[in-house]
């Protein structure tokens, strides 16, 4: 057997390193208010969430719609445990400062956010993972709705702040290094989400390339055959579900940092749908595709297509149809076109190194 070429992997590493270097450099040079950084921060967050959803829907074949619920858990755990003690009376003004009177370091709180989401995934997975495709989708969706309500329930207020928002916890801007006068000397507020997201996605890729990953893919392709080959279905599905939720939890915590506030009412089914559509656009079963389409989706919706929501004049001609909400209509149409005619999405099931591999193969054939 011919040994696999190491060149594609090398090119991939170079691209990744270049992206990180580019982000770091851009952040030092461009003004911090640039739209680019909003897109990059949110894109990095969505990339992690989309990849974690792809781990379930694309690689294991479990059609779960509970993503928003797990993100909510992550966001709340992060918020609850990192609000500085001094700020708690302000945040929990209706609940006498809340019951939790300590704050954890950010890294620990992030891990805890993931673990809490994974724990709930384990609990809900016990009954739900026995279900078949579409029933499972609805059951996980229902679970997300239940979580959202429980968090807002008044008696939970001393912990979750009820239906009021959590705020004043450390956000991305707090990662910037400042000098004694409070001026920013090194900007890190975009690089840090890239690093968190990058490490997490890296871990997911490692998992997918391991024996476990192959087992998960075989479950996706044919459950019964996989079981016949000695793969413990229940165990592997539970594992995938918990790991996916773990990273969704971290993604939720990152979303909290990005938004600087957390409120349960934003973690709706619509958010899950949005992430699902990102996964579909990127290609169900491709990590690279999910990452790429997250940035594309965020950039298009927050930045490039903004002009569709405002009146535009070309000379003295007013472009018709353009007004608030048109952007979303255009978006929906693009998504429907992808879903109906380009079912493989941007990347299909290919990854970044495959792109270089294929070209080389073609060259060799010539």
**Looking at the DSSP assignment, which residues form a beta bridge with residue 261?**
167
Q: Please, what is the minimum distance in Å from the beta carbon of residue 119 to another protein?
A: 17
Q: Please, what is the minimum distance in Å from the beta carbon of residue 328 to another protein?
A: 4
Compute CA distances 21 → 14, 16, 24, 36, 116, whole Å: 10, 9, 5, 15, 33
Q: Which of 194, 175, 170 is nearest to 186 (CA)?
A: 175
Residue reference for tokens 């479990």: 62
Q: Which is nearer to another protein, 135 or 304 (CB)?
A: 135
Alpha-carbon span 231 to 44, nearest angstrom? 34
**Looking at the DSSP assignment, which residues form a beta bridge with residue 313?**
318
Q: Which is nearer to another protein, 313 or 340 (CB)?
A: 340
Q: Please, what is the minimum distance in Å from the beta carbon of residue 41 to another protein?
A: 24
Q: Please, what is the minimum distance in Å from the beta carbon of residue 273 to another protein?
A: 5
Quickly list H helices, the chain.
Answer: 7-29, 35-54, 67-82, 88-91, 106-128, 133-152, 157-160, 191-209, 211-221, 223-228, 233-259, 269-282, 287-299, 326-341, 352-365
Enumerate long-range contacts of 234-240, CB under 8 Å, 24 or more apart.
Answer: 234/129, 234/130, 236/60, 236/212, 237/60, 237/62, 237/125, 237/129, 238/122, 238/125, 238/129, 239/212, 240/55, 240/56, 240/59, 240/60, 240/62, 240/216
Q: Please, what is the minimum distance in Å from the beta carbon of residue 160 to another protein?
A: 13
Q: Which is nearer to another protein, 255 or 284 (CB)?
A: 284
Q: Which is nearer to another protein, 57 or 189 (CB)?
A: 57
Q: Please, what is the minimum distance in Å from the beta carbon of residue 255 to another protein?
A: 20
Q: Which is nearer to another protein, 212 or 273 (CB)?
A: 273
Give 317: exposed, middle or buried? Use CB within 10 Å, 0-12, 13-18, 19+.
exposed
Taking the alpha carbons at both ends of the chain, their separation in whole angstroms is 21
Q: Which is nearer to another protein, 143 or 258 (CB)?
A: 143
The DSSP secondary structure of 326-354, one letter per residue, reads HHHHHHHHHHHHHHHH-TTTTTTT--HHH
Q: Please, what is the minimum distance in Å from the beta carbon of residue 327 to another protein?
A: 9
Q: Which is nearer to another protein, 101 or 324 (CB)?
A: 324
Q: Which is nearer to another protein, 24 or 326 (CB)?
A: 326
Binding region for another protein (CB under 8 A): 57, 63, 127-128, 130-135, 137-139, 141-143, 145-146, 149-150, 152-155, 224-225, 269-270, 273, 276-277, 280, 284, 323-326, 328-329, 331-333, 335-336, 339-340, 343
Residue reference for tokens 């939790």: 100
Q: Please, what is the minimum distance in Å from the beta carbon of residue 149 to another protein?
A: 4
């Amino acid at each position: 057997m011919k040994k696999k070429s190491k060149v594609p992997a090398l090119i991939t590493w170079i691209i990744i390193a270049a992206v990180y270097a580019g982000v770091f450099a851009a952040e030092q040079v461009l003004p911090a208010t640039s739209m680019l950084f909003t897109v990059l921060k949110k894109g990095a967050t969505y990339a992690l969430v989309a990849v974690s959803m792809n781990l379930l829907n694309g690689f294991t074949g479990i059609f779960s719609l509970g993503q928003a619920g797990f993100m909510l858990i992550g966001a709340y755990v992060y918020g609850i445990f990192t609000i500085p003690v001094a700020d708690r009376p302000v945040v929990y003004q209706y609940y006498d400062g809340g019951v939790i009177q300590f704050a954890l370091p950010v890294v620990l709180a992030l891990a805890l956010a993931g673990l809490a989401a994974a724990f709930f995934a384990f609990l809900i997975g016990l009954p739900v993972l026995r279900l078949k495709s579409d029933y499972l989708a609805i059951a996980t969706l229902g679970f997300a709705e239940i979580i959202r309500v429980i968090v807002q329930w008044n008696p939970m207020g001393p912990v979750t702040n009820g239906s009021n928002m959590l705020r004043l916890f450390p956000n991305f801007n707090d990662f910037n290094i400042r000098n004694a006068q409070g001026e920013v000397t090194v900007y890190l507020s975009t690089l840090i989400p890239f690093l968190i997201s990058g490490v997490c996605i890296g871990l997911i890729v490692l998992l997918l390339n391991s024996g476990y990953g192959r087992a998960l893919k075989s479950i996706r392709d044919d459950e019964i055959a996989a079981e016949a080959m000695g793969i413990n279905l229940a165990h592997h599905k539970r594992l995938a579900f918990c790991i996916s939720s773990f990273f969704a939890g971290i993604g939720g915590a990152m979303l909290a940092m990005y938004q600087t506030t957390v409120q349960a009412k934003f973690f709706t089914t619509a958010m899950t749908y949005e992430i699902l559509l990102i996964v579909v656009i990127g290609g169900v079963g491709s990590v690279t595709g999910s990452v790429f389409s997250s940035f594309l989706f965020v950039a298009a919706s927050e930045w490039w297509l903004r002009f569709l929501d405002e009146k535009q004049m070309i000379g003295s001609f007013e472009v018709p149809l353009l007004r608030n909400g048109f952007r979303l209509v255009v978006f929906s149409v693009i998504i429907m076109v992808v879903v109906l005619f380009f079912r493989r999405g941007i990347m299909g099931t290919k990854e970044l190194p495959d792109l270089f591999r294929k070209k080389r193969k073609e060259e060799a054939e010539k």
